[in-house]
């Protein structure tokens, strides 16, 4: 078996990061399904393919919520945390070879990072833009993206419109500002170790001091 690994939500300031692995006996299983990098598909297409991939392939998922990410970043870099999560989903499937989307400028170094966390030997093929090059990684990107989108939708039911959760999203930043204005602290779903959060808090502290 070979597997592909990808993640969604790595750079998000709100909500979880989801890492997914998809295992197949042959790439032929994914042929003619129209599978490509999740970013190149509509939400409707991703949902349709998600169901097909779950039926045809073996799937493993690891989620790290905001608080878990803040905790692990005290001990390691985010890239190291992603590598460990990649290894966790690979271990669940025990493939002979795993294709991973490199989360380090040095793809060979990233492969070694993943290998260092594996419980069993596995060939690691680490490449940048693997989600565009290998259908099995594209399939993993779809599983990760849909799983994360569903998690964000659940959080929105509880907190209201939080946008995509990414720092570049004005809706996300509006939500963060409003929540901190009301509660004086970031929401539990925010990654407090992110510069986005610390910058907002610093600005509000300065504004408060300016009132005196």
Express each pLDDT in 178-191 by its tens digit: 999 999 999 999 99
- Token readout for 162 is 């939080």
Domain ranges of the chain: 2-156, 159-205
Domain 2-156 CATH class label = alpha beta
**pLDDT (tens digit per residue) in 60-103:** 999 999 999 999 999 999 999 999 999 999 999 999 999 999 98
Give the SS3 label for residue 60.
strand
Start-to-end CA span in the chain (Å): 66
* Per-residue pLDDT band at 30 (split at 50, 70, 90): confident
φ, ψ dihedrals at 211, nearest 5°: -75, -20
Kindly state which CATH superfamily the domain 159-205 is placed in: Ribonuclease hii. Domain 2 (1.10.10.460)
Cα 137 from chain centre: 13
pLDDT in tens, 144-196: 999 999 999 999 999 999 999 999 999 999 999 999 999 999 999 999 999 99
pLDDT at 41 over 90: no
pTM: 0.92
């Amino acid at each position: 078996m070979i597997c592909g690994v990808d993640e969604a939500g790595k750079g998000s300031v709100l909500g979880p990061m989801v890492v997914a692995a998809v295992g197949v006996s042959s790439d032929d299983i994914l042929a003619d399904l129209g599978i490509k990098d999740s970013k190149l598909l509509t939400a409707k297409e991703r949902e349709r393919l998600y169901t097909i991939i779950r039926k045809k392939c073996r799937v493993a998922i690891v989620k790290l919520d905001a608080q878990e990410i803040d905790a692990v970043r005290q001990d390691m870099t985010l890239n190291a945390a992603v590598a460990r999560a990649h290894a966790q989903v690979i271990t669940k499937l025990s493939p002979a070879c795993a294709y991973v989307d490199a989360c380090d400028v040095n793809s060979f170094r990233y492969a070694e990072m993943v290998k260092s966390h594996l419980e069993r030997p596995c060939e690691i093929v680490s490449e940048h833009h693997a989600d565009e090059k290998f259908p099995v990684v594209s399939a993993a990107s779809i599983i990760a993206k849909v799983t994360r989108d569903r998690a964000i939708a659940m959080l929105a039911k509880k907190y209201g419109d939080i946008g995509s959760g990414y720092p570049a999203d004005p809706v996300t930043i509006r939500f963060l500002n409003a929540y901190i204005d009301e509660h004086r602290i970031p929401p539990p779903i925010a990654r407090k170790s992110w510069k986005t959060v610390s910058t907002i808090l610093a600005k509000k502290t300065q504004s408060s001091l300016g009132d005196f």
